[in-house]
Structure 1
Amino acid sequence: MAALEEGFTLSAVHLGAGPDGLLGVEQSDKTDQFLVTDSNRTVILYKVSDQKPLGSWSVKQGQVITCPAVCNFQTGEYIVVHDNKVLRIWNNEDVNLDKVFKATLSAEVYRIHSIQGTEPLVLFKEGAVRGLEVLLAEPQQKIETVISDEEVIKWAKLFMVYKHPVLIYITEKHEAYFAYVQTFNSCVLSKYTLLLGQEEKSVIQSFAASVDRKVISLMSLSSDGCIYETLIPIHPSDPEKSQRVVRSLLLKDVVSGTTRNGAALAVLDRDHVAVLGPPLPAAKDCLSIWNTKFQTLQTSKELPQGTSGQVWYYGGNLFMLHGKFLAVIPYKCEVSSLAGALGKLKHSHNPGIHAMSHFVNWETSQGSGVGSQNSEQSKRILRRRKVEMSTQSETPASSQLLSTIKKDSEKHIEVELRKFLATKRTPEFHTTIGDVVIGLVGRCKAEPSFYPRNALMQLIQTHGLSYSLCPGLMEVALEKTDVQLLQLCLQQFPDIPESATCACLNLFLSIGDDSLKEADVNMDSVSDYSDAVHDEKMEQQPEILQNGFNPEDDNCNNCDQTLSEKHQDTKEETTSCPVTPKRAALLNAVLRAAYSEAFLLPHLKDIPAQHITLFLQYLYFLYLKCNENATMTLPGIHPPTLNQIMDWICLLLDANFTVVVMIPEAKRLLLNLYKFVKSQICICSELNKIEVSFRELQKLNQEKNNRELYSIEVLELF
């Protein structure tokens, strides 16, 4: 028999789960601790027995974590990848992810796999696999392409077979599925085509697998609600030959075929699987355990708040999102027998009859001898803060381009660059263009008259550069007052330091309008900023409150009488944009750039007070523009969000309030901001009263048991 015990919520804090749920839940080097990675910016370390978080780490705003964080069991450190290529390594003592070890890789990472007994392995989106130590020794090394074009990795898992790692990953191309098995002791990669049944036309929703020495049992939950099994040999007889394996039906109709949020599958032991999904089309999500040996349902548990279609299991616990919270449900699976499958086996307290867990106690399995030496070597490599890039062999085309930029004219460089960009891109393409930019920047510093602006623009628009690959580029652009190139860098680079961001902001605020007229600035983010449109809307809807706040209304109960005297001047200030459209487009690029508040604040104090005041006026104008519609968004393509606007207002006031409050020109702006805060307090107070009223009504409805009776009730709230 299998049983689901009473579950509990791991944390009362809302997790940043996206539409597809969390990125992952991974085991830490302590058996009771787990790393939870949300779909946005945060990694949280939880201790299950205490039901509380032990630590939390977030990347900068504007950066996105793209694969689950894992633990390196050899060193006890944590590893995560953000923005597909930037790898971070830290430990429990680190507080800010922006200060920890960083390495920018040459190819995009699908995910990192880490289990006891081997070093972490990095699986790239193109199918190549690298050990962490080899990868960190040369982050920009060439990563080969293993899978074909339009082939996408859907799922992957790492096993230990005879003390050697074996990685399997599944790919999909035009609704056809393929399995790749990588063995590291023999360095053999085998490819299998997963053949469907004759009448089967379903789409696979979830994969799970287990290993039995020589064979991998791959299970798949399809959109028809059935579970299929495929047996894949670890060591094929002919690895070079294309091989095919057929999927066979294992369990039928375990979930509804019309599941909206998807379903999930997990292999608990050799005879039991956990399935997450509704059993019927109109039913709520359920967590169930099935016996695959006797094809019977052992137990199930309804999840009324819904799930994300994801399930993880470690050491007798199942993890899943229940609503917006991470829930843990302990489970037990006894030895499979016919009596147990039919529910006629008496419960026994003898621990010897329970199925053995597939997981090991990491704390009692510390390596020695050679393993300890490897662990110490790994620690030395992982704790290096500067990784020297080894010189890679270059193709003839890239060698010719690198030699051209050292001596030829700007026009000739542009011609050669266009030829190079027109050729087929190789795996070392990103490294090559980084070297090209470094060469161009170096020549710009050596020859002040040399500035190949068009060539630099072409290289940035390849979307293959980052600040760390060409750190001197923005410095040269600032010296040349090239606002267009700086805007493009702010839009493309995910790792710009806060000092460079503030230098761009200072330049955008101080440059003259005459110079901006000649600049070719991208205006997508500032469409429909005209005053006429704003005034027309204000005339048509003078009585409508905007998010509970009308700039023309001074009737908030707690607002000071002094504010009403400034009413007419405030209207004149806020109905027109305080900066030109081109300057607004440049400032929007700064608003959307990633930053860390602790590192940004010191640099904001160096910006002149009059520029800070102008920027605050522009931010206040943007806030009023957001209030013009119910969606609280700005017009245009990729405009700044309301949260970004409010965060920057707070940052500027925190860094410069003492200075700004002494400037006469900023007095009206500060009064407007003060008025806005007071009005929002009034609105929040009224909303709290309504919330309390609804809670009381909900309690009254729960106390009534006459559900079968029909009645009409009139409730007066005020």
Structure 2
Amino acid sequence: MAALYEAYTLCGLVPPESLSNSGIQGIEAERDSDHVIVTDSSRCVTLYKVSDQKPLGSWTVKEGNCLTCPAVYNTHTKEYVTVTDNKVIRIWKEEDVVLDKTFKATVSSDILRVHCVARGDPVVLFQRGAVRLLDSLLSAPQQPIEEVLAPEETIRWSTNIVADTQQFVIFTTEQNGDSFLYLQKLNPNILHKYQLEREDSDLSPLSISASYRDRLIHLLYLYPNGHVYQSVISVIGLGADQGAQTLPLRRKLLLALSVKGRLGAASALPLDDAHIAIIGAPHPSAGAGKDFLCIWNIHFQTLQAGKEISGKIFGQLWGYSSKLFIPHGKTLSVIPYECTKSSLASALGKLKQGRTEESRSLVSVPSWNNIFQEESTQPSKRVETRAFRMRRTQSTSDLTVEQVLAHIKTKRMDEVEKEVEGLLTRADTQDMHQWVGQLVSLLVSRSMADPTFYTPTTLAQLVHTRCVCYSVCPDLMQLALEKKDYLLCQLCLQLFPDIPEAVTCTCLKAFISLPDADAENLKLEPDSISFMETLTSRAHSQFGLQNGFSSTSSAADHPDVTKSKTDKEETSTPLEHTCPVGLHKAVLLNEVLQTAFSDDLLLPHLRNLSSQHVVLFLQYLQFLYLNYNEDSVLQRHGYRSPNLPQIMDWISLMLDAHFTVLVMSTEAKGLVLNLHNYIKSQVRLFSELGKLHSSLQELKNVKTKKDVGQYSIEVIELF
């Protein structure tokens, strides 16, 4: 079986005006499974950390130059390699800032691609079919390059694979309607040429991909008529050079998709020995005009998973580390997938479980009631009596997911809670992704339709499995706010990576409007409360310089502050060192501060806050800024808490959204003046840190000099 999980956006795209391509030349794996390199179609190479959905570095060639090859990563030297203007090889490292100042070498013939895979050396494929190892080419960049292809023969696709200890470059060509495949073996250099079988109507493949397993090179072809073929080449016996001899390459039909007309932009990618992913082919049960990503089982000719893709697709598909990368519309999306071992028994639902009920381990789903009432200090304990375990097994062990889903619609609330808890207890963690979202959606739908039905503990347990996100059930957070279930809201803010900015602002408005007396009665996550308790207790004992700012320096910078205020600060705790909101309300506000957002999308929603709420929120941000210290014991104990950059970001956002109101408000004058001092001190601090960083970089680059004599003095000027 196979499953496609919730998609998320890696980056935005700027496709050409013609929309004929996505604007991406290629996506390559980098140092590990969480980093990829994206090369656009013109001038930019960007390194992304996939799990954080953010760029770590970007390099651009100057105006007038053009990238003509996707950048690759050399795992041996930790360097990036690409080609500009077909003949200029460029090599750089992550710490390099300006690409034009890095190494470059001009070769004598046009380059098609540079390939580099794990455990392999970078290889250069020239447009006329010649292949060189990058190191040997750089030793003599102007060496003559032979022409392997016929005059009218053109390369359509290429790749590089490592088979055991042997490295191969594979590429296909077209000439007068015929298709050929070249297999270049390196060290020793031996070239094999194969002719591919013709497809009806002389169709050319839309996509070709290659994989290696069991000492066989598997080639996968997708044609416009929906046919998917496979050819297999054994690496055993490839030691002899056939010279100019062209060998026939037989193929096997794996899949025949039902296609009306011909496919346009489509691609196929092997996921394992039994599953392939196809983008751009029609879904068997969907209407025309819709683009889908599908996973097919080629052993049983069955569709395993499908996901509709919005926006125009371009027939591009990459896969690394159980993640599919798909450009569509103006977005590059990442879709995680999972493929399990296929068998006829599992396809028919007759596969026996490999573990008995007694040996099956429990899923670590905490009981929130127990955490808050009894186990807040020892949350790892899970004590169950034999009688309770036996009773629960007897009542829920025989229920399937489909039965529980059906019971949610009709049964009483307490019965539903027991059945869902039993299902979570005995379920395998890897299987939850397929049905937890359905449980949440049904529970929320019934709760919204029936005011007497609401299961907060069950919903919290389902959210805590991390198998559900905002996109799966958008009404969940709305329901939690309506029911004033702020514990569930807190949990969603902590675990959902895709909360829209409008919902974040709605939560902020609900939290800041909550009376302190009502907030103190709420049950919230213990660690977040512990952080605020520690922070408020330390607020009255720590003054002076914090995070580059002190109240004394502010007074010196602004002598217009009245003497009466200064005298008051000397004899009592300043107002800005007192938390302006209650403890539990502060905990909820902290969750908002730690939620991911985009400035442009959040600002319009922040303008809907009232001036009273704006001032109160800014006062709380001021309190956090003055009393939060990154080197304090709070961080060493790992409390979940906002950090200084998040606090500063929200201060800037609130000032941008309500600048006119704050300037015109008399009560906000002192607050705005203080915030101005904080921001100015941060700018000063980072400026000094920048100078220090530059000085340390210069020291690092200085070559060590040999000592002269037994004693010497060396003077190093930092500034």
TM-score by length of 2: 0.51
2:542 equivalent to 1:537:
yes
Report the 3-state secondary structure (helix = DSSP H, G, I; strand = E; otherwise coil) of the residue aligned with 1:25. strand
Q: Quick check: 1:528–1:636 contact (8 Å CA) kept in 2?
A: no
2:520 equivalent to 1:517:
yes
Higher relative contact order (Cα pairs below 8 Å, separated by 6+ residues): 1
User: Alpha carbon RMSD of aligned pairs, Å?
Assistant: 5.2
CA change 1:53–1:537 in 2 (3 A) is: farther
Matches within 5 A, 1:10-21: none
Matches within 5 A, 1:3-82: 23-26=35-38, 34-38=45-49, 40-43=52-55, 48=61
CA change 1:328–1:474 in 2 (3 A) is: farther
The CA deviation at 1:622 is: 1.1
CA change 1:404–1:696 in 2 (3 A) is: closer
Gaps of 5+ in 1: 1-16, 55-69, 72-114, 116-207, 209-263, 267-274, 277-308
Q: Quick check: 1:24–1:38 contact (8 Å CA) kept in 2?
A: yes
The CA deviation at 1:586 is: 0.8
Report the 3-state secondary structure (helix = DSSP H, G, I; strand = E; otherwise coil) of the residue aligned with 1:375. coil
The CA deviation at 1:400 is: 1.1
2:567 equivalent to 1:550:
no
CA change 1:360–1:512 in 2 (3 A) is: same
Among 414, 432, 435, the alignment partner of 1:432 is 435
The CA deviation at 1:551 is: 1.7
Percent identical across equivalent pairs? 32
Report the 3-state secondary structure (helix = DSSP H, G, I; strand = E; otherwise coil) of the residue aligned with 2:37. strand
Aligned length: 440
The CA deviation at 1:534 is: 3.0
2:597 equivalent to 1:591:
no
2:610 equivalent to 1:617:
no
Deviations 1:119-171 (A, max 9, x none): xxxxxxxxxxxxxxxxxxxxxxxxxxxxxxxxxxxxxxxxxxxxxxxxxxxxx
Q: Which amino acid aligns with 2:481?
A: L
CA change 1:446–1:686 in 2 (3 A) is: closer
Q: Quick check: 1:559–1:678 contact (8 Å CA) kept in 2?
A: no
CA change 1:616–1:329 in 2 (3 A) is: same
CA change 1:362–1:449 in 2 (3 A) is: farther
2:310 equivalent to 1:385:
yes
Gaps of 5+ in 2: 1-28, 108-122, 125-129, 150-154, 159-168, 180-202, 207-222, 226-261, 267-278, 281-289, 293-307, 313-346, 350-397
The CA deviation at 1:22 is: 8.0
CA change 1:38–1:52 in 2 (3 A) is: farther
2:323 equivalent to 1:323:
no
Q: Quick check: 2:579–2:620 contact (8 Å CA) kept in 1?
A: yes
Q: Counterpart of 2:577?
A: 575
Q: Counterpart of 2:561?
A: 562
Aligned equivalents of 1:19 and 1:350: distance in 2?
Answer: 33
Q: Counterpart of 1:461?
A: 464
Higher alpha-carbon deviation: 561-570 or 366-375: 366-375
Q: Quick check: 1:405–1:440 contact (8 Å CA) kept in 2?
A: yes
CA change 1:324–1:485 in 2 (3 A) is: farther
Aligned equivalents of 2:408 and 2:580: distance in 1?
Answer: 43
Q: Which amino acid aligns with 2:542?
A: K
Aligned equivalents of 1:634 and 1:563: distance in 2?
Answer: 39
Among 656, 660, 675, the alignment partner of 1:654 is 656
Report the 3-state secondary structure (helix = DSSP H, G, I; strand = E; otherwise coil) of the residue aligned with 1:518. coil
Q: Quick check: 2:555–2:561 contact (8 Å CA) kept in 1?
A: no
Report the 3-state secondary structure (helix = DSSP H, G, I; strand = E; otherwise coil) of the residue aligned with 1:37. strand
The CA deviation at 1:678 is: 4.3
Aligned equivalents of 1:700 and 1:485: distance in 2?
Answer: 53
Q: Quick check: 1:508–1:587 contact (8 Å CA) kept in 2?
A: yes
Aligned equivalents of 1:362 and 1:563: distance in 2?
Answer: 82
Q: Quick check: 2:520–2:583 contact (8 Å CA) kept in 1?
A: no
TM-score by length of 1: 0.51
Q: Which amino acid aligns with 1:550?
A: S
Q: Quick check: 2:590–2:641 contact (8 Å CA) kept in 1?
A: yes
CA change 1:685–1:514 in 2 (3 A) is: closer
Q: Quick check: 1:467–1:495 contact (8 Å CA) kept in 2?
A: yes
Aligned equivalents of 1:507 and 1:517: distance in 2?
Answer: 15
The CA deviation at 1:423 is: 2.3
Q: Counterpart of 2:144?
A: 350
Aligned equivalents of 1:591 and 1:393: distance in 2?
Answer: 49
Aligned equivalents of 1:657 and 1:535: distance in 2?
Answer: 31
CA change 1:502–1:423 in 2 (3 A) is: same
Q: Quick check: 1:478–1:486 contact (8 Å CA) kept in 2?
A: yes
Q: Counterpart of 1:712?
A: 713
Q: Which amino acid aligns with 2:548?
A: G
Q: Which amino acid aligns with 2:712?
A: S
Q: Which amino acid aligns with 1:403?
A: A
Q: Counterpart of 1:605?
A: 607
Q: Quick check: 1:46–1:52 contact (8 Å CA) kept in 2?
A: no
CA change 1:575–1:635 in 2 (3 A) is: farther
